[in-house]
């Protein structure tokens, strides 16, 4: 799945879209996506000056975006909501020009919430890993 198709499903847009391509997808089970960290990313001059390290929360966001594409057919008309992070560990820094591989596996589904086991790698080394929980809500449900 290329970027144009990804944009059909995710409501995110640049500069807050952190998925360039889906390499592998098994609906409802697992996904592997890719993101190339751009040399002109919005955070570069501020995190950190003269030594740009991609913020961990943005890597986590990339993993959440990829994870939700496992259920791409259910996203239409809904907003993905990130609800919980569990046992998350960051192991390597990410810099502009790095290519991230974003993996996600469905661990469980209960009452509209999905738990994912996620991992980000670069150069075949683990950048971070843990579990995230997300749900999909209609806009009118969120505003209550």
Residues labelled as active-site residues:
47
Q: Quick check: 18 and 43 in contact, CB under 8 A?
A: no
Distance CA 10, CA 50 (A): 32
Q: Kind of pairing, strands 30-36 and 21-26?
A: antiparallel
Using a 10 angstrom Cβ sphere, with 0-12 exposed, 13-18 middle and 19 or more buried, the burial of residue 65 is buried
31 in helix, strand or coil? strand
């Amino acid at each position: 799945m290329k970027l144009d198709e990804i944009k059909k499903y995710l409501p995110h847009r640049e500069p807050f879209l952190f998925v360039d391509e889906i390499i592998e997808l098994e609906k409802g089970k697992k996904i592997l996506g890719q993101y190339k960290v751009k040399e002109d990313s919005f955070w570069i001059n501020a995190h950190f000056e003269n030594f740009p390290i991609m913020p961990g929360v943005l890597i986590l966001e990339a993993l959440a975006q990829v994870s939700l594409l496992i259920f791409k057919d259910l996203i239409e008309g809904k907003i993905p909501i990130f609800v919980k992070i569990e046992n998350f560990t960051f192991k390597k820094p990410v810099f502009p020009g790095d290519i991230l591989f974003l993996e996600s596996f469905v661990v469980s589904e209960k009452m509209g919430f999905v738990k994912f086991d996620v991992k980000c790698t670069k150069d075949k080394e683990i950048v971070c890993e843990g579990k995230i929980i997300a749900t999909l809500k209609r806009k009118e449900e969120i505003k209550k």
